[in-house]
Amino acid sequence: MPGCFAWISDYRLICCFVCLCFGVLVAAETQPQQSQPPATPPETLVQSVEQQRGGRHWIDKKTEAPKSAEESLACFRIEPGARIELLAAEPVVIDPVAMEFDQKGRLFVAEYGDYPVGPGEKDAPALSRIVLLKDTDNDGRMDDRTIFADHLAFCHSLMPLFEGILSCTETEIVFLKDTDGDDVADIREVWFSGFTPAHPQMQIGCPRWGYDNWIYLTYGPGKVKCERPGFETEAPVTLARQDFRFHPLTMQFESVTGLGQFGNTFDNDGHRFFSTNRNPIMTDVLSRSVMTRNPLVQITTGHTDVGPAGEDTRVYPLVDMKSNWLSHAGTHTSACGVTSYRGHLFDDSFQHSTFACEPVGHLVTRSIIKPQGASLTAQRARPKADFLASTDTWFRPASLCTGPDGALYLADMYRLWVEHPKFVPEDVAAKMDWRAGEDRGRIWRIVPEGGFQPDSPPETASAENLVHLLRHANGWRRLLGQRLIVEKQLMETVPMLQLLSRDQTASSHSRMHALWTLDGLGSMDADVLSAALADPAAIVRRDAARLVGLRFPRDQQLLASVESLCNDENFEVRLHAVLSLFDSESQSRATSLASSVASASSDRWLVAAVMSASPTCSGAVLRELVTQWNDGDSLTAEEAESRTEILRQLASAVAVRGDQDELGETLSLFASTDGGGSWWRTAIIIGISQGLPKTRGQQFPKSLAALIEKPPAGLEEAARSMDQMMQQAVAVVTDGRQTEADRLVAVRLLPYQSPAALTEATAALLRPDQPLSLQTAAMETIRGTGRSDLALMALNQWNTLRPQVRSQVLSQLLVRSETTTTLLQRMLEGKVAASVISIDQRLRLLQHKDDSIRQMATELFGGNVSANRQEVATQYSAALTLKSDAQAGAKVFEKSCSKCHRIDGVGHQVGPDISDTRSRARDALLYDILDPNRRVDPQYSDYVVVTSDGRTFNGLMVSETPDAVVLRQAEAIQQTVLRTDIEEIHSTNRSLMPEGIEKDVSVQQMADLLEFLKSR
């Protein structure tokens, strides 16, 4: 199941040394003599790698027999104050991975019988199903099962809806309903089809009713059609690799922010959380529509980790984790089933609790959610212990849910393995009984230690009953009341809901539900929102501001109240107030937007909200901020950087929009007689320079240099002021008498100089007497200019360039075919050593689409690397026994690995964490390096982007929006490419780490590197 089983995959092997893909032994112009290893059968090394400590050390080990439910119960250790008890066990429930209670309090369970590879036989019926469990003798345990719906292909999640069950299969969303009272679904409708699963660990799933009355699901890419009778769409809609939502009444559907796996939940305050294997708690701060509605700016991400992620997570299993890679021991490797507790049984310490399952570690974590600026953060409930852990190695927690009684329920798939064969080498996968435990499963109930008195089933017979549910202390019942009122469109509830929305004797959560229920009925009115905007509870003010933007975007009276919330003490309220001003025509709008970030410039979400909300007033916001910030006060480095970035983005938006009056007013700031403010002037110049090439104003030139040369009427004085700054920047950059700090600041303006000025400055900076920091900063700064002549200028001075600068020059030369050809010709002439080309660069050249480049590369590098990686492993097996030097290995790491990996503070984090390699077997590490493409996780696949002007980029895809894609390259460089500039984009389906390290690293060097990694 996504998340629960989507743990780590093979990127821990495959990408364990992504660094080597970019690594260049730059300083070594000649290849050292390699020692000859003894001949060892390849299969011997491979078998050793797979079975030794630190690799898949558990493959052939004896495994404990499964325990009875009672025996397993004795193996739990649970947080003080809570008690765990059995609700159901085999044969009443089998393979449970998700469960939900319907409006009658009945428990429906998704049994994931297809996991991991389906029924096995071709054309055999699917094995997953949804069952209804009952406690017929009222002893607190389920003793009866009815198969509600069978043969649902890879069905792993569900939710109650319209007196039926909405289920998610491999490629479809299916609605099931029993109409004749026999507890078996006789209606089976496909509502949506065409989803594209990555694998059974990552597919459409986890439907949840949101507070805004949309249904949210995780992982929804594909060519999707609505097939619900009466709502059919004619043609499929192509959806990106993001989460998915649809409206249950209109069947409108779309992609939404985030990319979850198996885990999706809403807390009592209305936040949505989702999870992936290494990210136990994430949230969506900005909606997809908010991110894309202002075409003048680029907002590349709208979601964030709430708690620690990846290597920063901590778990405390009671037994060894049977994980593929011990480098992730003690951290989340299979986080899934994220669930916010919404019940009322536990004391205040349980409020704002969010749980995450960790099936590989046989445990469940609990975190406390707290505000952090305009977003959230999570803190472990207990520093050194988990909420629930077991010594039973068959215990596999998959997901949780809050029940109508306020208890917490836990689905335990109870399997021997939760890995998927896709992420295990075929020879190893063939040894394993993947279905061990397929006839078992448990559901556990977690209650206060002192016990509890179960509530009666919810009363839902009348409209009054449902409104009363909105007042309940149990969040499950409140959301049930809202859902049923909206489902049934009970308009008679409107007066009661209006009263509840103002009732200060009710909880703030009740008032919040009243607002969204009114909205779900299409009955929101301005008076209700006006009162809610002044509510003492932050969550009510927040949602009222949001609803103004959705329903009354031009109501000046309401917007005046929203503007006052732009300075709310709660930053989340402030954020939604800002977002709701998008359509406002208020004269004070810019002032309100500016004030929201004036004292909070480091909050990236507030900044993004301002950018999203100001397409027609970016210049006015910028001027307001300059007025407030140009007061001469000293700034910290963080303040200066964040303020500079805000002004840069606003100035860029002004230039892109191309409104002459707005641009004129912005540039008039440069005509000020005030001599201060060099930092904000620099920020504005950079922003204007970046925006002009994309300007929509036909009257404006496409570059700053052209604007300065021929300024529009009325801007002559501002142009002269900018020209003076630009000339001064060149003078400072090229003057060795200036401080290095001042010269580094001036370097930032180089890309926006006139072509002649930039050429002059570059030539000066390439002289060998210039500081290294200045040279590297200059090469990085001009990287985005696309000027190949500057890279060729650097190539002409190759012999005097330092290794770090050579690496930058190579990257720029290899972006275009023309400069690549020149570089290879220099190598063939012996003017540049071919050994400076890294392995990944070499492989791309050998596979280049240009025939002449491929031929030159073959002549230089001798053709592709050996495809027989086992044979290479045999050749390098001597590295396991040679006398080795950890200090020498550290140098190999720094030269070959540090561009993409970090250990002990050295290097950059581009690929996965390798800081815990000491716990891995030496031979396992060796084989990871030598055969990186044995299995590739899509998350760490190399992407190639070709632009319309002939440049080529590659790297990890870290973000994509309708406007741009972001690649992460060596040294953690973020390369943003606008979609309008992209001619081709594709995944190589290969690891960033290339095969062929043996061509650059000798056996002795490999031995030293392994010693360094093992001896830290």
Q: Among residues 750, 797, 804, 744, which one has the least CA distance to residue 774?
A: 744
- The predicted structure's pLDDT at residue 925: 73
- The predicted structure's pLDDT at residue 341: 98
- The predicted structure's pLDDT at residue 89: 98
The mean pLDDT value for 282-298 works out to 96
- The predicted structure's pLDDT at residue 903: 77
CA–CA separation, 238 and 221 (whole Å) = 7
Which residue type occupies 411? A
Angle (deg, nearest 10), helices 740-747 and 716-734: 130
- The predicted structure's pLDDT at residue 929: 73
**Highest mean pLDDT range out of 230-239, 713-722, 880-889?**
230-239
Q: Is the pLDDT of residue 966 over 70?
A: yes
959: phi then psi, degrees, rounded to nearest 5:
-165, 145
Residue-range domain boundaries for the chain? 11-59+868-1015, 69-448
The mean pLDDT value for 412-423 works out to 83
CA–CA separation, 725 and 549 (whole Å) = 42
- What is the band of 326 on the pLDDT scale with cuts at 50, 70, 90? low
The mean pLDDT value for 189-193 works out to 99
Q: Among residues 482, 481, 404, which one has the least CA distance to residue 211?
A: 482
When the pLDDT of each residue in the chain is averaged and rounded to a whole number, the result is 87
Which residue type occupies 173? I
Cα dihedral 321→326→330→336 (10° resolution): -60
**What is the residue whose two structure tokens read 């607190």?**
140
CA–CA separation, 753 and 709 (whole Å) = 11
**Are 302 and 288 contacting, i.e. CB atoms less than 8 angstroms apart?**
yes
Which residue type occupies 610? V
* Local structure of 972: helix, strand or coil: helix
- The predicted structure's pLDDT at residue 869: 59
CATH superfamily of 69-448: TolB, C-terminal domain (2.120.10.30)
Range of lowest pLDDT (507-521, 560-574, 780-794): 780-794
Q: Is 636 exposed, middle or buried (0-12, 13-18, 19+ CB in 10 A)?
A: exposed
- The predicted structure's pLDDT at residue 115: 94
| Number of Cβ within a 10 Å radius of residue 135 | 15
User: DSSP label at 203?
Assistant: S
Q: Among residues 724, 728, 699, which one has the least CA distance to residue 711?
A: 699
- The predicted structure's pLDDT at residue 26: 29
**Are 50 and 56 contacting, i.e. CB atoms less than 8 angstroms apart?**
yes
- What is the band of 46 on the pLDDT scale with cuts at 50, 70, 90? very low
Q: Is the pLDDT of residue 901 over 70?
A: yes
Q: Is the pLDDT of residue 421 over 80?
A: no
- The predicted structure's pLDDT at residue 140: 94
CA–CA separation, 862 and 868 (whole Å) = 16
- What is the band of 14 on the pLDDT scale with cuts at 50, 70, 90? very low
Beta bridge partners of 975: 967
> 504-554: per-residue pLDDT in tens?
999 999 999 999 999 999 999 999 999 999 999 999 999 999 999 999 999
The mean pLDDT value for 628-637 works out to 74
Q: What is the DSSP string of 793-849?
A: HHHHTGGGS-HHHHHHHHHHHTTSHHHHHHHHHHHHTTSS-GGGS-HHHHHHHHT-S
Q: What is the DSSP string of 551-609?
A: H-TT-HHHHHHHHHGGG-SSHHHHHHHHHTTTT---TTHHHHHHHHHHT-TT-HHHHHH
- What is the band of 993 on the pLDDT scale with cuts at 50, 70, 90? low
The mean pLDDT value for 78-86 works out to 98
Tokens of 252: 């409108």
**Highest mean pLDDT range out of 188-192, 845-849, 893-897?**
188-192
| Number of Cβ within a 10 Å radius of residue 634 | 6
The mean pLDDT value for 99-111 works out to 98
Range of lowest pLDDT (170-184, 400-414, 477-491, 986-1000): 986-1000
Q: Is 156 exposed, middle or buried (0-12, 13-18, 19+ CB in 10 A)?
A: buried
